[in-house]
Structure 1
């Protein structure tokens, strides 16, 4: 293997956005309908994101 003198850094990310980041994204997009996915607490979304939230069941 050839060494290229490129420094290697390890960085971990979870891939999950924070609530403040999600709120900023929703505000910027201003969707007519917002459907929470990949969450254990979809029932909390109307309080966090307002009346545009629609909670659907898996498979619908």
Structure 2
């Protein structure tokens, strides 16, 4: 998985850069693109490329 380095809020879950650093300090802190729906996600909402993300679930509704 490739993360883009950024301080932006996560469009997938709304986590700020400070949220990511505080909750998962050893994880990549940027954003990556979901291969299923194309939404960017962070270390807090990313469950891996083989699993759909929370935004994918919203698209199914």
Same fold (TM over 0.5): no
TM-score normalised by L of structure 2: 0.25
If asked which structure has higher relative contact order (CA below 8 Å, sep 6+), I would say 2
From the two aligned structures, give the one with the greater helix fraction. Answer: 1
From the two aligned structures, give the one with the greater strand fraction. Answer: 2
TM-score normalised by L of structure 1: 0.25
Q: Which has the larger radius of gyration?
A: 1
